[in-house]
């Protein structure tokens, strides 16, 4: 158990090491922080923290650096994350509000997070399993072709050109459009196949070929190409970072979509702000990094996660504040779309 004074010493060591990238000694702590105790007391506290595994001495006669265990205690005892300034919040809101669809939202989000944190930003696409249909549109292009458009509550838009078996007039297309929307509005995508299974039989005989063709395209569009998709940006930010594992290992792990999906998904509470530090990451190539992640969604429903990945020597209060704020703004945009 670490008492308040030793926790203050640990906090000072973390802050100085993150700022300077140099091992921190007792003299520096006395000069930079008003800890209210003597240099000898600080040295004793540092010795106890080192014995308990919260800090380590990288070289003989050097100061101390935080360990993964030390960073974990620092994060767990944070009184608050650093809030964004009003200018930053306005810039985020304006930048994200300009997105036109879910692809644009994801790409703007990942670029924004990388710029705000100077780390690698990672964004998971919303999964279809949590999406519902907002609208189905059928737009005649010619007598035997139409545009099929599927819009979900997460902002995903699927468009397909449908080649029709026969000449179909706009009245029949309009009737099928109305039937589909009455049947599927608000329907979870996982339930769509069951909802439309007997739909052709409920239509006039002459409309069944058209319905069967459109429903075939609808079911094909439900094959979620985004469920296993993650995008990242800001890999260049790692160039000057220090890692306990090689940069090559980190970059190779980033290229593995399955690794990133599992890393983002290995939390019991999707909505919580999660910090996974160093050796807490189960993947060898990422054990010199920390991940800060949060869920985002539409309304009360969490759809996916986003976050940043960087070295364990990370400004956790700033990074956590940025990730949490961006996740909230993305959620608001999806809820309003």
Domain 129-221 annotated CATH 3.30.390.60: yes
CA angle 220, 125, 155 (to 5 degrees): 70
Identify the pLDDT of residue 177: 92
Fold of 86-127+226-336: Beta-Lactamase (3.30.450)
Identify the pLDDT of residue 245: 61
Identify the pLDDT of residue 70: 96
Identify the pLDDT of residue 270: 57
The CATH class for the domain spanning 4-76 reads: mainly alpha
Q: Which residues of the chain have pLDDT under 70?
A: 1, 127-130, 155, 223-228, 240, 242-245, 266-271, 298-302, 337
The domain spans of the chain are: 4-76, 86-127+226-336, 129-221
Q: Measure the CA–CA gap between 122 and 190, rounded to whole angstroms.
A: 26
Same fold, 4-76 and 86-127+226-336: no
SS3 track for the chain: CCCHHHHHHHHHHHHHHHHHCCCECHHHHHHHCCCCCCHHHHHHHHHHHHHCCCEECCCCCCCEEECHHHHHHHHHCCCCCCCCCHHHHHHHHHHHHCCCCHHHHHHHHHHHHHHHHCCEEEEECCCHHHCEEEEEEEEEEECCEEEEEEEECCCCEEEEEEECCCCCCHHHHHHHHHHHHHHHCCCEHHHHHHHHCCCHHHCCHHHHHHHHHHHHHHHHHCCCCCCCCEEEECHHHHCCCCCCCCHHHHHHHHHCHHHHHHHHHCCCCCCCCEEEEHHHCCCHHHCCEEEEEEEEEECCEEEEEEEEEEECCCCHHHHHHHHHHHHHHHHHHHHHC
State the pTM of this model: 0.75
């Amino acid at each position: 158990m670490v008492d308040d004074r030793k926790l203050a010493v640990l906090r000072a060591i973390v802050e100085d090491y993150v700022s300077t990238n140099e091992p921190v000694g007792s003299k520096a702590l006395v000069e930079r922080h008003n800890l209210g105790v003597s240099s000898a007391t600080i040295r004793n506290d540092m010795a106890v923290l080192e014995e308990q595994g919260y800090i380590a001495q990288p070289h003989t006669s050097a100061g101390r650096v935080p360990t993964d265990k030390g960073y974990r205690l620092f994060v767990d005892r944070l009184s608050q994350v650093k809030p964004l300034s009003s200018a930053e919040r306005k810039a985020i809101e304006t930048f994200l509000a300009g997105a036109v669809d879910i692809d644009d939202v994801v790409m703007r989000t990942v670029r924004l997070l990388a710029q705000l944190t100077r780390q690698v930003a990672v964004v998971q696409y919303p999964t279809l399993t949590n999406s519902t249909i907002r609208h189905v549109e059928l737009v005649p292009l010619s007598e035997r072709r139409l545009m099929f458009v599927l819009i979900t509550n997460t902002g995903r838009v699927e468009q397909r050109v449908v080649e029709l078996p026969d000449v179909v007039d706009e009245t029949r297309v309009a009737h099928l459009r109305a039937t589909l929307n009455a049947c599927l509005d608000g329907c979870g995508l996982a339930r769509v196949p069951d909802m439309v299974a007997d739909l052709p039989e409920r239509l006039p005989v002459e409309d069944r070929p058209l319905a069967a063709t459109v429903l075939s395209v609808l079911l094909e569009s439900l094959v979620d190409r985004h469920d296993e998709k993650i995008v990242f940006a800001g890999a260049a930010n790692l160039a000057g970072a220090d890692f306990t594992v090689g940069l090559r290992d980190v970059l190779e792990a980033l290229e593995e979509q399955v690794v990133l999906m599992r890393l983002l998904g290995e939390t019991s509470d999707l909505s919580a702000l999660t910090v996974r530090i160093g050796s807490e990451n189960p993947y060898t190539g990422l054990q010199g990094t920390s991940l800060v992640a949060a869920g985002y969604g539409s309304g009360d429903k969490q759809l996916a996660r986003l976050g940043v990945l960087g070295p364990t020597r990370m400004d956790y209060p700033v990074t956590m504040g940025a990730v949490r704020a961006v996740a909230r703004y993305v959620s608001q945009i999806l809820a309003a779309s």
